[in-house]
Structure 1
Amino acid sequence: MALPQVGEPAPAFEAPDQHGTLHRLQDYAGRKVALYFYPKDDTSGCTAQACNLRDNYPSLLGAGIQVLGVSIDSEKSHQKFATKYELPFPLLVDEDKKIVEAYGVWQEKSMYGRKYMGTMRYTFLIDEQGRLEKVITKVDTKNHAAQLL
């Protein structure tokens, strides 16, 4: 599936977070959403990114941006990650890969010459009307909040 483009409606989603609470895109109508995709809980880059968003969460909320993280990890994995780093935002469970596929972030990757499928580190800023306002494909894990603000 191709990456959705700026100006297009954001693909709808529905998934539980690390506490089992269901989140749907439509629940955020009238608010901006930073839907950020990351490869794996508790890895160095993903931790740097999550902690940057955590540290700047009050500024993001002040700008009217709700942060939602998405990976294909389990609810239990998300719970451990969120608790360990005191993450104040929901981490959506996408074990069936419906959201990563809908947003076109489940792609072929390569490491040490080995090709495999995985989640790209991309972020989608969705506006109050549910349209894509910004697509960030070159995420700066240590300054990600600044890219959104």
Structure 2
Amino acid sequence: DREIQNYNVAYFMASTDTLEDNTGFAEKNGATFPILADPNKTMCEAYGVLSPHGYASRWTFYIDKEGVIQKIDKQVNAREAGKQLVENMDALRFPRAT
């Protein structure tokens, strides 16, 4: 999370869980980023990430400042997600914070 803050980007996690469940998850895991609660699955359906089991697939969308999706990472490893984010943002030449 700390390395991600070196970039001039906004990031958040989306989940089909309720706001209460997401708040508990954030507290338990020390999450310092926003978590979007999508219990109605509207956003998940719009982005095509809703699994057949009814939960959000663990994908990362890299969207540039013009709103264009530059990459969709469908192979996210929860333990390595922060490292993967930094590597992909570097490869995509996302701007670093000044």
TM-score bucket of the superposed structures, by smaller chain: 0.7 to 0.9
Q: Contact 1:60–1:66 at 8 Å: present in 2 too?
A: no
Cα deviation, 1:1-40, whole Å, max 9, x if unaligned, reads xxxxxxxxxxxxxxxxxxxxxxxxxxxxxxxxxxxxxxxx
Name the residue aligned to 1:136: 73
Q: Which of the pair is proportionally richer in strand?
A: 1
Cα distance in 2 between the residues matched to 1:72 and 1:117: 8
Cα distance in 1 between the residues matched to 2:55 and 2:27: 24
Name the residue aligned to 1:97: 41
* Corresponding residue pairs, total: 86
| Deviation (angstroms), 1:103 | 0.6
User: With structure 1 as the length reference, what TM-score do the two structures score?
Assistant: 0.54
The alignment yields a C-alpha RMSD, in angstroms, of 1.3
Cα distance in 2 between the residues matched to 1:130 and 1:89: 20
Q: 1:83 aligns with which of 27, 35, 58?
A: 27
What is the percent sequence identity of the aligned residues?
29
Q: Contact 2:16–2:55 at 8 Å: present in 1 too?
A: no
One-letter amino acid of the counterpart of residue 130, structure 1: G
**Higher RCO, 1 vs 2 (CA within 8 Å, ≥6 residues apart):** 1
